[in-house]
Amino acid sequence: MKQTLSKIGVAMPIIAFALFAAHAQAVTTSPVVAEAGQQSEGLDPVIQKIWAQGDQSQLYSLGQELLDSIGPRLTGTAQQRRANDWALAWYRKWGIPAHSEQYGTWMDWRRGIAHIDLVGPIARPLEGMLSTWSPGTKGTVEGPVVLFPKIESPADLEAAISQMRGKFVLFSFPWASCRPDADWKEFAAPESFERMHKERSEGFQAWYGGRLRKSGLGGTALVRRLAEVGALGIITSLVPPPGPQGWGVYKISTTIAENIPELGLSCEDYGLLFRLAENNQNPILRVNAEAEFKGEVPVSNVLAELRGTEKPNEYVVLSSHLDSWDPASGATDNGSGTVVMMEAMRILKSVYPNPKRTILAAHWTGEEQGLNGSSSFAADHPEVLKGLDVVFNQDSGTGRITNVSMQGFTEAASLFRRWFSQMPSQVRTELTLTDPGTPGGGSDEMAFVCRGVPAFSLDSKRWNYEAYTWHTNRDTFDKLVFDELSFNARVIALLAYLAAEDPRTVPREPRVTANDPATGKPKPWPNCVPAARDWAHRRK
């Protein structure tokens, strides 16, 4: 899932919170119940077979191979290409036609081993890694650690910046406590929590709104200037505001350093370095971090297809992104969605191999860099968009699907209610619809929503997704919950079957958005952002 947050005017890509669809006026969120004449008994035999076929799940094998053997799938890397080949091999094994479709090129960057050690005034290894696409150190380097200087103007920067030569520069705000807010709320006296929250907010504003913004340079330009004067590297800690939300996790994003290493540390170890430097206790860092830029290589989506027998030019799309960040294995973002869509296609091939409409499974890459794979596909295939009935996207972790927002497509809910009413009772009791909702979100459905195509995020129970696994060093195979994923695969197979069979198509008009508080009028429908199809045009 792609998110970017600017740091109080400084162009530094830190991880933001997941964006959820805001609700338009008269939004209702309600359980799905059987419509008149629909009973849980007497289910469609195909629906019964789809549900039963889920008992033959191959989700564990899919997830274990993808996440443990291939691992993280950063766009452009050898592991991402291996994942594409792996998905194609499984589809061939199931007898499902599939192919890889190139949409551009991207930098092939290889992450190596990193050792980040504090060697003075105490000795201990630190928890962290290179930020993605950061240069390495070209061997072991050692030097003191200093704060980014306190400045009031660009002139102050030029006077202070020469002092950064031969040093590692602390570039992020230090969170005074790395305890999650939930701990503070549960255990602290109310006045203690409020004081901590106030001091933290003021300190955050002073750091980014003061020291960094007053330099007069954006994030990348500022770090480029540090490289020019001979700084050894920058040290960051990507904890998004309002502050730490989980124990023992750190997040990762694209580096802002082009010529010197950027080292991302855990909240705790960054705080240690900051306190030592702030109190003139002379922290010394020793770093050996390997990385290699191998040039631009082709990047591709994987597309698998069950061709429609009656309406082959109308499409039901099962959407998920195959790429990931690489601090861990990319399990819940979005290995979970990948294996669920593959399992749904396996079920459909076994039970419903000749759909009326074409069912297309799309495994996008470049999602984390700005929906590049899905946006490229949407731009390159107007013939598919013309006949595209509905997109079901899953990119919200390992939990079972519980809600679908109608994304502002005001007439869509009637079809969803009819589809859900035909499903087994254990599905109907889990699901709610947000009707009409409003367009929004940070995943691949938006590449289609912005073009007026009905595309929906299948939102899941959270399982502490944002706090513990989203873009973190803990997003590993063991975080998958296979009972939940099996539920999702069956539900998605059922949705694909019902949408492919339905004589109606999902209406594209009318559409609504939420009101703009500033004007009181509805916001415009979201614009499409062109895909970045090569490294030179990436969003920085």
What is the domain-level CATH number for residue 448?
Answer: 3.40.630.10
pLDDT of residue 219: 86
Q: How confident is the model at residue 22 (pLDDT cuts 50, 70, 90)?
A: very low
Q: Which is higher by pLDDT, 405 or 40?
A: 405
- Looking at per-residue pLDDT, the higher value among 207 and 306 belongs to 306
| Domain-embedded: residue 522 | no
**Pair 414, 275 in one domain:** no
Say yes or no: 327 and 281 in one domain: no
Same domain membership, residue 136 and residue 80: no
State whether 450 and 355 are in the same domain: yes
Identify the pLDDT of residue 240. 80
Whether residue 1 lies inside any domain: the answer is: no
Are 446 and 402 members of one domain?
Answer: yes
Q: List C-alpha distances in Å: 72 to 257, 397, 462, 479.
A: 22, 15, 21, 14
Q: Evaluate if residue 12 carries a pLDDT over 60.
A: no
Residue 90 has pLDDT above 90, yes or no: yes
**Once rounded to an integer, what is the mean pLDDT over residues 84-98?**
98
Helix (H, G, I), strand (E, B) or coil at 336: helix
Residue 412 lies in a domain: yes
| Average pLDDT for 279-299 | 98
Q: Is the pLDDT of residue 369 over 50?
A: yes
Tokens 């794979």 belong to: 373
Q: Is residue 120 part of a domain?
A: yes
Give the model's pLDDT for residue 540: 67
Is 33's pLDDT higher than 60?
Answer: no
Radius of gyration of the chain (CA): 25
**Pair 388, 451 in one domain:** yes
Please tell me the predicted confidence (pLDDT) of residue 3.
46
Q: Are residues 288 and 410 in the same domain?
A: no
At 316-356, the pLDDT tens digits run: 999 999 999 999 999 999 999 999 999 999 999 999 999 99
End residue of a domain, out of 239, 262, 294: 294
Residue 126 and residue 246 share a domain? yes
For position 150, what pLDDT does the model report? 87
Question: Coil, strand or helix: which one is 203?
Answer: helix
Any domain includes 68 = yes
Q: Side chain identity at 331, as an amino acid letter?
A: A
For residue 35, the model assigns a pLDDT of: 41
3-state secondary structure 62-92: HHHHHHHHHCCCCCCCHHHHHHHHHHHHHHH
Helix, strand or coil for residue 312? Answer: strand
- H or E segment and range at residue 486: helix 482-501
Q: What is the pLDDT of residue 367?
A: 98
For position 1, what pLDDT does the model report? 65
208 and 159 belong to one structural domain: yes
**pLDDT score of 446:** 98
Report DSSP letters for 416-457, one per residue: HHHHHHTS-HHHHTT-EEEES--S--SSTTHHHHTTT--EEE
Tokens of 179: 């305890």
Find the domain containing 213 and state its range: 110-294
Is residue 196 within 8 A of residue 176, CB to CB? The reply is: yes
For the domain that residue 174 is a member of, what is the CATH number?
3.50.30.30
The answer to the question of residue 273 being in a domain is yes
What pLDDT is recorded for position 241? Answer: 80
- Predicted confidence at residue 29, as pLDDT, reads 65
Same domain, 81 and 207: no
Per-residue confidence at 153, pLDDT binned at 50, 70, 90?
confident
361, part of any domain: yes
329 alpha-carbon distance from chain centroid: 13
Judge whether residue 28 has pLDDT over 80: no
Percent of the chain with pLDDT over 70: 92
Residues 358 and 428 placed together within one structural domain of the fold: yes
Q: In 3-state terms, what secondary structure has residue 398? A: coil
Tell whether 170 and 286 lie within a shared domain: yes
pLDDT band at 129 (very low <50, low <70, confident <90, very high): very high
For residues 84-106, give the mean pLDDT.
98
Q: How confident is the model at residue 15 (pLDDT cuts 50, 70, 90)?
A: very low
Distances (CA, A) of 363 to 243, 353, 372, 394: 33, 20, 12, 11
Q: Report the 10 Å Cβ neighbour count for 182.
A: 13
| Cα–Cα separations (whole angstroms), residue 63 to 66, 159, 340, 477 | 5, 54, 9, 7
pLDDT value, residue 400 = 98
Residue 102 maps to a domain: no
Span 449-471, average pLDDT? 97
pLDDT grade for 30, boundaries at 50, 70 and 90: low
At residue 165, does pLDDT exceed 90?
yes
Q: What percent of the chain has pLDDT over 90?
A: 84
The confidence score (pLDDT) of residue 242 equals 83
Q: What mean pLDDT do residues 135-151 have?
A: 95
Q: Are 374 and 442 in contact (CB under 8 A)?
A: no
pLDDT of 77 above 70: yes
pLDDT tens-digit readout, 469-527: 999 999 999 999 999 999 999 999 999 999 999 999 999 999 999 999 999 999 999 99
Residue 10 has pLDDT above 60, yes or no: no
CA 108, CA 353: separation in Å to the nearest integer?
37
Higher pLDDT, 23 or 75: 75
Helices 482-501 and 336-351 pack at an angle, to 10 degrees, of 50
What is the pLDDT of the chain when averaged over all its residues? 92
- List of residues 6+ apart from 295 with CB closer than 8 A: 107, 108
pLDDT confidence of 27, banded at 50, 70, 90?
low
Total domains in the fold of the chain: 2
Q: Is the pTM of this model over 0.85?
A: yes
User: Of 294, 322, 353, which closes a domain?
Assistant: 294
